[in-house]
Structure 1
Amino acid sequence: MGLVYIDDIKPGMVLEKNLVCPNGRFLLSAGAVFEVKHLKIARSWGITEAYIEGVDKKTLDDAAESEYPQEILDIAEQAQRNRFSNVDHHVPVMQEIYRLDKLHIAKQLATGKLTKEDALSEIKMDRPETPEGLNKNNISAKWLIDKEVGLASFPDIYYKINEVLNSPKSSASHMADVVEKDTSLSAKLLKIVNSAFYSFPSRIDSIRRAITIIGTKELATLAVGVSAIEAFKGIPAELTNMKLFLRHSIACGVFARLLGTYLDGVSTERLFVSGLLHDVGRLVIFRSLPDHSAYSLYASISENRPLCDVEREIFGFEHAEVGSALMEKWKFPTKLVRNVRFHHADVAVELEPSIINIADCLSIAFGSPISKSNIVPSINFKIWESMKLSPSVIQPIVNQSKRQIDEIEDVFFLVK
């Protein structure tokens, strides 16, 4: 017998130990035979693993790999070699991410959705001219924000929303009145609320109804995130591929929210928006110092080093500091600011920034096109330990993520 992850449990398997929910609620007794309905109920209660008679995780992992020819598995491992070169494989959650990524690549190869050439491809980036050195004593994250006149103020809608939130006389109806006046924002919010992100059983056709169901503060938080991303829509294509940048940001937000569903004391909407905005500092650097930004990106890829480390060498600060400085200037809530500011911290500063740190790793591993140049950052052992989660949560999260990422991506590129 052994501990088996929920996505590997099949109908007919026999429970070795009592099945108990994370909150202590008893579900099934030892000796029970799993049925489809039991698996659905277990997932709905947040159960991600169970002890099963006659099988263990390693046996099932080996069986999963045996479905593919060795040649395909070898190509998958070759594709992973560079991507996972900075990873600490002693961290249990990184072992699970590596395993799932290998199976994902193998499946893509076996079904023809990915060619060997694409799996082993690298981003070809011409070496840019080395820019003039910066005097680190004369620049700072705050200096960059002050320099960008176009980012000096946030869209008026945010301040109107904030005014309603902070007024003791305001109601859900007042919030709806404010949001509905911005037709583009309203359309985007309704598309998110009606997507797999929430998976409500029936369609929600008005902002008022959305507020009633998910809450005034929750919808306001989503509105802030959507509006902030809109402020960067004019970034020139030669500076960055905005579509890929936004997909990574959306993926980080989705993974952060899904992780948050397994934890107490967090706001899943705030986690989504924090993930969505975690890299806005990079966009500010693109706009303000395009040559230095291009060189830092080239150095990160060619030297196989985290971008934030290269930025600290070149600028004296990194994009998380710039992003949080911008959010402070826009008077964003403190928790949102701190989630962005500390998402690259290598220690568990606070719970929510640590969640963004892990979500960033997952979004690079699973949320973007497969490439050898998508260097997966390692999750620090202490950060993962602070979550008090089993690595078994990763597979259900990855399984749920793709549809949510795709549908929210459509919000920004299809809804005007």
Structure 2
Amino acid sequence: MTTLKDLSFLENIKLPSPPNIALRLLEVIKKDEFSYTEIALIIQYDPALTAKVLKVANSSFYSFPNKIGNIERALELIGVPAVKNIVFSFNLVDRFQLNRPDVFNIDYFWKKSIISAIGTELFTKHFNINNDDLFVAALLQDLGILILHSHHHEKYSRLIKEKNLTKTSIDVLEKKTFGFNHQELCAEVLEQWGLPESIYIPIRHHHHYENAPEAYRLSARILFLANALSSIYSDNEAFDKIDHFYNLIKNDLGIPPGDLESLIDQGGDRVIEICSLFQMSTKDIKPLATLLQEANEGLSALNLSYERLLNEYKKEKMQAEKLALELKEAVNRDYLTGLYNRRYLMDFL
């Protein structure tokens, strides 16, 4: 077990980006003229690139008087040469990662991060607040998972297997193995990189927003809801999780199911729009009503399978008990005459 302050690798973190994003950035940068807005619109949908740009912009090399949490503003301040270096370096890291046989599922991670970020747009609108930092915070809130997987691949892969087998929360397993969980690691990294408190403090508490400082509690709550939304769309084959996270959002917001369905479907439409922009699959992004119906059907099928197995177990058990009685009876009787034998008599006496 260790502490976050002891992690020397935090200074040299290298994170992969989806190849489609890297290629799209390269296409834009190769043009004679491009705008920071154009670059920002691509970078803001990639957690790794977003983290790198904000790290550079908030570094001591530039020493800007105020901390920067806005991507376009960061790009304007660091300039074109620095932006090109960031893009080219991430493209190389991505090529290296893709050649590994145990490559991390970056598409799954990326899509989940995008859904979380889009979720903040929905929930800030629901709460009638304006907080641009929350989009970045949601995009980065699971960065700790990517860091742990990249630097402790075998150990973290074992944690995932244990989580799936035992249904133990990944936070609990991370804490037991590393001494901290992924949200604490992410918050520590972003704090060390100089990002604003409005980004890293809500991330630290987004699984238990009730423990967040009052000033950031609503922000942490929105991240909590956005994370639940991302779990509905990202794990749509885990039927119990869809139902769980749907009820979690419904109970937290306290709004009618119809209004919630409309709200969540708006997020699904935005995810399809963004995924299509980067030519990534959207086949798993379905209307909430469809997901819930499929989840109910899946759970019903699982229950039927469980009942079938239980009935087969009971049947096998009854047959085994019957066979045991027959064997016991056979041991106490003479094979030829059927009369009780010497063994039965000795046991009786």
Q: TM-score, normalised by structure 2?
A: 0.53
Cα deviation per residue 1:191-221 (whole Å; 9 max; x = unaligned)? 699xxxxxxxxxxxxxxxxxxxxxxx9x962
Match of 1:306 in 2: 169
1:341 pairs with one of 204, 216, 223: 204
Q: Is the 8 A contact 1:348 1:354 kept in 2?
A: no
Q: 1:245 to 1:186 in 2, by over 3 A?
A: same
Distance verdict in 2 for CA 1:347–1:239, change over 3 Å: farther
* 1:403 matched to 2:265: no
C-alpha deviation, 1:338, in angstroms: 1.0
For residue 327 of structure 1, what is the aligned residue in structure 2? Answer: 190
What letter matches 1:246 in structure 2? W
Bigger helix fraction: 2
1:289 — aligned with what?
152
Q: Which residue of the partner structure matches residue 241 of structure 1?
A: 105
Aligned equivalents of 1:291, 1:264: Cα separation in 2: 44
Contact 1:252 1:360 in 2 (8 A): yes
Give the alignment's Cα RMSD to 1 decimal: 4.1
SS at match of 1:261: helix
2:227 aligned to which of 360, 363, 368: 360
Deviation (angstroms), 1:398? 1.6
Superposed, 1:375-390 pairs within 5 Å as: 375=241
Higher relative contact order, chain-length normalized (CA < 8 Å, sep 6+): 1
* Residues 1:151 and 2:30 are matched in the alignment: no
The structure 1 residue matched to 2:127, chosen from 241, 249, 263, is 263
Contact 1:279/1:323, CA 8 A, preserved across alignment: yes
| CA deviation map 1:267-322 (0-9, x unaligned) | 1x322211111100111111221121111111111112221121111111100011
Q: CA deviation at 1:347?
A: 2.7
Q: Distance in 2 between matches of 1:283 and 1:181?
A: 34
- Kindly indicate whether the alpha-carbon contact (under 8 Å) linking 1:364 and 1:374 is maintained by their aligned counterparts in 2: no
1:251 counterpart = 2:115 = yes
Instruction: Write the mapping of 1:198-213 to structure 2, written as runs, cut at 5 A.
Output: none
Cα 1:239/1:263, change in 2 over 3 Å = same
Deviations 1:37-73, CA, capped at 9 Å, x for gaps: xxxxxxxxxxxxxxxxxxxxxxxxxxxxxxxxxxxxx
Alpha-carbon contact 1:342-1:353 (below 8 Å) kept: yes
Structure 1 residues 221 and 258, CA, compared in 2 at 3 Å: closer, same or farther?
Answer: same
Q: Are the aligned partners of 1:364 and 1:375 in contact in 2 as well (CA < 8 Å)?
A: yes
Conserved 8 A contact 2:133-2:199: yes
8 Å Cα contact 1:140/1:317 also seen in 2: yes
Percent sequence identity over matched residues? 20
Distance (Å, rounded) in 1 between the aligned partners of 2:252 and 2:241: 24
Distance 1:191 1:337, change over 3 A: closer
Q: 2:253 & 2:118 partners in 1: Cα distance? A: 17
Tell me, in whole angstroms, the C-alpha distance in 1 between the residues paired with 2:105 and 2:275.
14
Q: Measure, in 2, the Cα distance between the counterparts of 1:337 and 1:379.
A: 24
Instruction: Give me the TM-score of the superposition, normalised by structure 1.
Output: 0.45
CA displacement 1:131-175 (0-9 Å, x = unmatched): xxxxx1xx223333x3144339xxxxxxxxxxxxxxxxxxxxxxx
Structure 1 distance, partners of 2:33, 2:243, is 38
**Structure 1 residue 346: Cα displacement:** 6.0
**What secondary structure does 2:167 align onto?**
coil
SS at match of 1:344: coil
CA shift, 1:401, in A, is: 1.3
When Rg is computed on C-alpha atoms for both structures, the one with the higher figure is 2
Match of 2:40 in 1: 189
Shift in Å, 1:242:
0.4
Q: Which range moves more in the overlay, 401-410 or 305-314? A: 401-410
**1:351: which partner in 2?**
218
1:394 paired to 2:263: no
Q: CA deviation at 1:348?
A: 5.8
SS at match of 1:264: coil
**In structure 2, do the counterparts of structure 1 residues 271 and 287 end up closer, same or farther at CA, with 3 Å as the change threshold?**
same
Look up the equivalent residue of 2:152 and give its one-letter code: L
Instruction: Kindly indicate whether the alpha-carbon contact (under 8 Å) linking 2:120 and 2:134 is maintained by their aligned counterparts in 1.
Output: yes
Output the amino acid matched with 2:173.
V
